[in-house]
Amino acid sequence: EVGTPLGNLLFYQLNAQYQQYHSFSKGNILSFNGEVGYGEAYSSKPYPISKNYFVGGIGSVRGYAPGSLGPKYFNTFTGTYLPSGGQSKIVTNVEYTVPVPGSGVDKTLRIFGFVDGGNAFQDINLVLRYSYGLGFSWISPLGPLKFSYGIPIRSQPTDNVQRLQFQVGTAF
């Protein structure tokens, strides 16, 4: 993505994602996901904060609240730290999925274990947050549903932990 002089914002944003799936016997699947993103202004104007990356939650690092990882600012009114996002991000996920035991030929019910890592950064500070956990997915008549229980590793006092998460739709 590129901001041009016509839009009054001069910035660029580069994103890359790699996913790989390995299928084993009886519907067992090992999944890998890796994402990187980087953005920067190329003028005297600052990088637009609306383009910052936010990491955390079921689509990136489970076990942490959505968008809560990375740079934060202290809100003096509420007395809490709030996420401000970063100009770069790294996200990695490994997930092992198996059919629910006893479900027979029903491929819509699955359980999975996962390990996630990632963070958003304002500068090149590669301190990642990690989590691991278990989950349950169901391809319902209304669409895919996913429940995850994530346990953070290396969390910090300002991190917003959210162990139980729910998703409608698909994502890694």
Rounded to 5 degrees, φ, ψ at 25 are: -60, 150
Task: Grade residue 28 by pLDDT with cuts at 50, 70 and 90.
Answer: very high
If DSSP codes are grouped into helix, strand and coil, which group holds residue 137?
A: strand
Phi, psi of 95 (to 5 degrees): -140, 135
* Mean pLDDT of the 117-141 span: 91
Q: Looking at residue 113, which CATH number applies to its domain?
A: 2.40.160.50
Question: What separation, in Å, do the N-terminal and C-terminal C-alpha atoms of the chain show?
Answer: 23
Q: What percent of the chain has a predicted confidence (pLDDT) above 70?
A: 94
Can you give the length of the chain in residues? 172
Domain that holds residue 120: 2-168
Q: Per the structure, how many domains does the chain have?
A: 1
CA 71 to the chain's CA centroid:
15
Q: How far apart are CA 138 and CA 59, in angstroms?
A: 17
Please tell me which residue, 24 or 126, carries the higher pLDDT value: 24
